[in-house]
Chains A and B, each alone.
Chain A
Amino acid sequence: AQSVTQLGSHVSVSEGALVLLRCNYSSSVPPYLFWYVQYPNQGLQLLLKYTSAATLVKGINGFEAEFKKSETSFHLTKPSAHMSDAAEYFCAVSETGGGKLIFGQGTELSVKP
């Protein structure tokens, strides 16, 4: 069975600081991995996805994530946080990409001025 664990339900950084949101997954097959962002009372927007191509994946808004099979991790990073990055972030895993998604618990990112 697949599962996703996001370490830290809440992360707070200063504007301009590095953002690091952690995600570990469990999957019996090569996984598809995703990071989504959710702003209050809105749906989810795809930040980036890993589909077994390059292990370093670049997404929108300056975010990137690195797939590390040995660590079963897919951590999300951004070199310099912006106030507009404050939101809820979800890591998700799927066996088939467009099929059933298993979401992590979510990490709320706060950005301090």
Chain B
Amino acid sequence: GAVVSQHPSRVICKSGTSVKIECRSLDFQATTMFWYRQFPKQSLMLMATSNEGSKATYEQGVEKDKFLINHASLTLSTLTVTSAHPEDSSFYICSASFAGKNIQYFGAGTRLSVL
């Protein structure tokens, strides 16, 4: 149980285009979802926290207009990287948790490469 699916696993796009990444909880209702960014050989940095039906809470230094997060249902959150540039290339990972369970379940990650 507690499976989180992230799609796509890899995406290559041209500079200036927008990319959407989906994060789905397959067998539970995720009251909270998290989006992380990971640079090569580095740790995970939390970008934002989203609760279903509410606006996401962004960490300091993360541009909310650049990284649009939508958590429209209890099983789906999306991260849209708008007007992507090469410096946005990274590994993006989502996670989800639900009330009463004190852990986060992680997706497999999305490798974004912006040319």
For residue A5, give the distance in angstroms from its CB to the closest CB of chain B: 11
Q: In the complex the two chains form, what is the Cα distance from A38 to B32 in whole Å?
A: 22
Q: What are 8 A-B interface contacts by the 8 Å CB criterion? A: A41-B91, A41-B109, A43-B6, A43-B93, A43-B108, A97-B102, A98-B103, A105-B43
Q: Chain B residues in contact with chain A, CB under 8 A?
A: 4, 6, 32, 34, 42-44, 46, 49, 91, 93, 95, 97-99, 101-109, 111
* Contact A43–B103 (Cβ < 8 Å): no
* Contact A99–B103 (Cβ < 8 Å): no
Residues of B within 8 A of A32 (CB): 102
Residues of B within 8 A of A11 (CB): none
For residue B15, give the distance in angstroms from its CB to the closest CB of chain A: 23
Which candidate, A18-26, A44-52, A78-86, is the interface stretch facing chain B?
A44-52
Task: Decide: A42 near B97, CB < 8 A? Known: A103-B43, A106-B42.
Answer: no
Closest to A45 in B: B106
Main secondary structure of the interface of A (DSSP, over half): loop
Contact of A99 among B42, B97, B107 (CB under 8 A): B97
Which A residues between 59 and 107 are near B, CB-CB below 8 angstroms?
Answer: 90, 94, 96-101, 103-106
* Contact B109–A49 (Cβ < 8 Å): no
Contact of A105 among B42, B95, B97, B111 (CB under 8 A): B42
Task: Decide: A49 near B102, CB < 8 A? Known: A41-B111, A99-B97.
Answer: yes
